[in-house]
Amino acid sequence: MDPTPIPPAEEYLAEVLTVVERVPAGRATTYGLVAEAVADVLGRGGPRQVGQVMARAGSGVAWWRIVNAAGSPPAHHLDAALTELRAEGCPLTRDGRRVDLRRAVWLP
DNA sequence: ACATTGACTAATT
DNA sequence: TAATTAGCCAATG
């Protein structure tokens, strides 16, 4: 029988979204950490793959809780992300342009 | 099969 | 602190 008619990319997509859903409001995590969590299950993928998935995911997911290692949300919707994060009470840096990962990071 | 691309990261300057 | 460089992994043309 065919237990997996699921394309690898779709499986990876699903796993990434699962991890993203676990990030609590008011906290944030990085592409790299999500990639590691997914790799623990699927054994493949890296930060760039997570980014690719998020780009495809669109709305319906809390994409603004995923930031790069420096704490900056994706440049595509930087202002929108900062607005959402602020609304959730996510700790930001003094200049208010990035997430203060030292306090806000959530480990998968 | 090869080259290009991308919501990345870490090290260097 | 910010800009640049090199490395990385899979999707796409």
pTM, two decimals, is 0.92
**A55, part of any domain:** yes
Cα dist. A2→A6, A11, A53 in Å?
Answer: 10, 15, 25
**A100, part of any domain:** no
Hunting for tokens 């409001």 — which residue is that? A25
pLDDT for res A4: 52
Structural domain for A35, as ranges: 8-94
Nearest to A28 by CA among A96, A77, A80, A86: A86
Q: Which nucleotide is at minimal CA–C1' distance from A48?
A: B8
Cα dist. A59→A12, A55, A63, A72, A87 in Å?
Answer: 18, 10, 8, 19, 17
Q: Which nucleotide is at minimal CA–C1' distance from A10?
A: C11
Residue nearest to nucleotide C10 (CA to C1'): A49
Nucleotides of strand C within 7 Å of the protein's CB atoms:
8-12
**A13, part of any domain:** yes
Q: What are phi and psi of A47, to 5 degrees?
A: -50, -40
List, chain by chain, residues whose CB lies under 7 Å from nucleic acid strand B. Answer: A 30-32, 47-52, 54-55, 57-58, 63, 66, 68-70, 74-77
pLDDT for res A51: 96
3-class secondary structure per residue, A11-34? HHHHHHHHHHHHCCCCCEEEHHHH
Model confidence over A29-86: pLDDT tens digits?
A: 999 999 999 999 999 999 999 999 999 998 899 999 999 999 999 999 999 999 999 9
Residue A105 has pLDDT above 90, yes or no: yes
Model confidence over A6-34: pLDDT tens digits?
A: 777 889 999 999 999 999 999 999 999 99
Domain total of chain A: 1
User: Domain holding A64: CATH number?
Assistant: 1.10.10.10
**A74, part of any domain:** yes
Nucleotides of strand B within 7 Å of the protein's CB atoms:
6-10
pLDDT for res A8: 79
Residue nearest to nucleotide C8 (CA to C1'): A46
**A102, part of any domain:** no
pLDDT for res A1: 62
**A107, part of any domain:** no
> Can you tell me the distance from the alpha carbon of A106 to that of A101, in angstroms, rounded to the nearest whole number?
8
